[in-house]
Amino acid sequence: MSSNKKYWKSVEELNENSSIVETLRNNEFVEEIPTDEFLSDKDSLSSSSTTRRDFLKYVGFSTAAATLAACEGPVHKSIPYVLQPEQIIPGVADYFATSMFDGFDFANLLVKTREGRPIKIENNTIAGAKFTANARVHASVLSLYDSMRLKVTKVGQKDATWKEADLKIKASLAEAKAKGGQVVLLTSTLASPSTEKLIAEFIAQNPTAKHVVYDSVSESAALDAFEAVYGERALVDYDFSKANTVVSIGADFLGDWQGGGFDSGYAQGRIPQKGKMSKHFQFEANMTLSGAAADQRVPMTVANQKLALVKIYNIITGSSVSVGKVANEDAVTKAAQQLKAAGSKGLLVSGIQDKNAQLLVLAINQKLASEAFSTSGTRQIRKGSDAKVSQLLTDMTAGSVHTLIMSGVNPVYTLANGKAFAEGLKKVKLSVAFSLKEDETASLTNIAVPAPHYLESWNDLMLTKGTYSLVQPTIRPLFSSKQFQEGLLSWNGNGTSYYDYIKANSASYLNGLTWNKAVHDGVSVGVASAATGGSADYSVAANALAQSKPANGFELVLYTKTGLGDGQQANNPWLQEFPDPITRVSWDNYITVSKADADKKGLTNEIVANGGLNGSYATVKVGDTSITAPVIVQPGQAVGTIGLALGYGKKAALKEEMQVGVNAYALYNNFDNVQSATLTKADGEHEFACVQSQKTLMGRGDIIKETTLTVFTAKFDEPEVWNPSPMVSLDHKEVKATSVDLWESFDRSVGHHFNLSIDLNACTGCGACVIACHAENNVPVVGKSEVRRSRDMHWLRIDRYYSSEETFAGDNKKKKEFDGLFGEKGSLGGFGDMESPADNPQVVFQPVMCQHCNHAPCETVCPVAATSHGRQGQNQMAYNRCVGTRYCANNCPYKVRRFNWFLYSNNEEFDFHMNDDLGRMVVNPDVNVRSRGVMEKCSMCIQKTQLTILTAKREGREVAVEEFQTACSSACTTGAMVFGDVNNKESKVAKLAEDKRMYHLLESVGTKPNVFYHVKVRNT
**SS3 of residue 435 by DSSP:** strand
Task: Confirm if 447 and 155 have CB atoms less than 8 A apart.
Answer: yes
Task: Confirm if 745 and 854 have CB atoms less than 8 A apart.
Answer: yes
Q: Find, among 589, 659, 161, the residue nearest to 439 by Cα.
A: 659
pLDDT digits (tens, 9 = 90+) for 679-690: 999 999 999 999
Task: Confirm if 726 and 736 have CB atoms less than 8 A apart.
Answer: yes
* Confidence band for 326, pLDDT divided at 50, 70 and 90: confident
Q: Taking the C-alpha atoms of 630, 633, 638 and 640 in order, what is their torsion angle to the nearest 10 degrees?
A: 60
pLDDT digits (tens, 9 = 90+) for 670-680: 999 999 999 99
pLDDT value at position 64? Answer: 46
**Range with lowest mean pLDDT among 10-24, 184-198, 371-385, 767-781:** 10-24
Q: Are strands 279-284 and 733-736 parallel, antiparallel or unpaired?
A: unpaired
d(CA 705, CA 110): 36
Residue type, 365: N
pLDDT value at position 738? Answer: 83
Phi (first) and psi of residue 1011, to 5 degrees? -110, 130
d(CA 902, CA 930): 10
- SS3 per residue for 58-83: HHHHHHHHHHHHCCCCCCCCCCCCCC
pLDDT value at position 74? Answer: 44
Mean pLDDT of 640-669: 93
Tell whether the model's pLDDT for residue 694 goes beyond 90. Answer: no
pLDDT value at position 844? Answer: 93
pLDDT value at position 43? Answer: 56
Tell whether the model's pLDDT for residue 748 goes beyond 60. Answer: yes
- The CA angle 222-102-204, to the nearest 5 degrees, is 80
pLDDT value at position 23? Answer: 58
Summary mean pLDDT of the chain: 88
Tell whether the model's pLDDT for residue 34 goes beyond 60. Answer: no
| Residues whose CB is less than 8 angstroms from the CB of residue 131 and which lie 6 or more positions away in sequence, other chains included | 106, 107, 108, 261, 463
Q: Are strands 867-869 and 625-633 parallel, antiparallel or unpaired?
A: unpaired
Mean pLDDT of 590-618: 91
DSSP state of 27: -
Residue type, 642: I
pLDDT value at position 822? Answer: 79
Tell whether the model's pLDDT for residue 12 goes beyond 80. Answer: no
Angle between helices 418-426 and 386-397 (to 10 degrees): 50
pLDDT digits (tens, 9 = 90+) for 532-572: 777 788 999 999 998 888 888 899 999 999 999 999 999 99
pLDDT value at position 891? Answer: 93
Question: What is the CB neighbour count within 10 angstroms for residue 522?
Answer: 23
* Confidence band for 63, pLDDT divided at 50, 70 and 90: very low
Q: Taking the C-alpha atoms of 384, 386, 392 and 397 in order, what is their torsion angle to the nearest 10 degrees?
A: 140
Residue type, 269: G
Tell whether the model's pLDDT for residue 609 goes beyond 70. Answer: yes
DSSP state of 407: E
pLDDT digits (tens, 9 = 90+) for 390-404: 999 999 999 999 999
d(CA 194, CA 503): 9
pLDDT value at position 72? Answer: 41
d(CA 379, CA 925): 38
Q: Find, among 275, 246, 280, 253, the residue nearest to 370 by Cα.
A: 246
**SS3 of residue 86 by DSSP:** coil
**Distances, alpha carbon 629 to alpha carbons 575, 685, 842, in Å:** 20, 10, 27
Mean pLDDT of 188-193: 94
d(CA 866, CA 869): 10
* Confidence band for 73, pLDDT divided at 50, 70 and 90: very low
Query: Which residues is 799 bridged to in the sheet?
Result: 846
Q: pTM for the complete prediction?
A: 0.89
With residue 397 as reference, give the H or E element that holds it. Answer: helix 386-397
Tell whether the model's pLDDT for residue 56 goes beyond 50. Answer: no
pLDDT digits (tens, 9 = 90+) for 417-473: 999 999 999 999 999 999 999 999 999 999 999 999 999 999 999 999 989 999 999
Separation of first and last alpha carbons in the chain? 83
**Range with lowest mean pLDDT among 112-116, 812-816, 976-980:** 812-816
pLDDT value at position 834? Answer: 81
pLDDT value at position 54? Answer: 53
Q: Find, among 800, 803, 801, 808, the residue nearest to 838 by Cα.
A: 803
pLDDT value at position 16? Answer: 61
d(CA 769, CA 52): 50
Mean pLDDT of 44-69: 48
pLDDT digits (tens, 9 = 90+) for 74-106: 444 455 666 666 677 788 888 999 999 999 999
Share of the chain above pLDDT 90, in %: 72
Tell whether the model's pLDDT for residue 747 goes beyond 60. Answer: yes
Tell whether the model's pLDDT for residue 785 goes beyond 70. Answer: yes
Mean pLDDT of 802-830: 82
Handedness of CA 592, 136, 131, 759 (dihedral sign): positive
Tell whether the model's pLDDT for residue 249 goes beyond 80. Answer: yes
Question: What is the CB neighbour count within 10 angstroms for residue 266?
Answer: 24
pLDDT value at position 3? Answer: 52
**Distances, alpha carbon 823 to alpha carbons 697, 818, 837, in Å:** 22, 10, 21
* Confidence band for 528, pLDDT divided at 50, 70 and 90: confident
pLDDT value at position 274? Answer: 85
pLDDT digits (tens, 9 = 90+) for 881-902: 999 999 999 999 999 999 999 9
| Residues whose CB is less than 8 angstroms from the CB of residue 587 and which lie 6 or more positions away in sequence, other chains included | 576, 577, 660, 689, 783, 784, 787
d(CA 995, CA 1014): 8
